[in-house]
Amino acid sequence: MEQPKDDSGTREDLALHRLQTAKSDLKSARILLAAEEYKGANNRAYYAIFHAVNAVHALSGKAFKRHKDAIGNFNKNYIKTGIFPREIGRKISEAEEIRHASDYDDFYIAGREECERQVAAADELIQLVERYCMERFAL
CATH number at residue 79: 1.20.120.330
The count of C-alpha atoms lying within 13 angstroms of the C-alpha of 139, restricted to the half-sphere facing its C-beta, is: 8
**Do the domain assignments include residue 71?**
yes
Overall number of domains in the chain: 1
The per-residue pLDDT for 136 is: 87
pLDDT in tens, 59-88: 999 989 899 999 999 999 999 999 999 999
The per-residue pLDDT for 9 is: 84
Element (H, E) at 4: none
**Do the domain assignments include residue 5?**
no
pTM for the model stands at 0.90
Q: Assess contact for 118 and 95: CB atoms under 8 A.
A: yes
- Listed as ranges, residues in the chain with pLDDT below 70 are 1-8, 139
Q: Which domain holds residue 62?
A: 11-138
**Do the domain assignments include residue 4?**
no
Identify the sign of the CA torsion 77, 2, 27, 24.
positive
Q: Assess contact for 132 and 56: CB atoms under 8 A.
A: yes
Residue 39: strand pairing partners: none
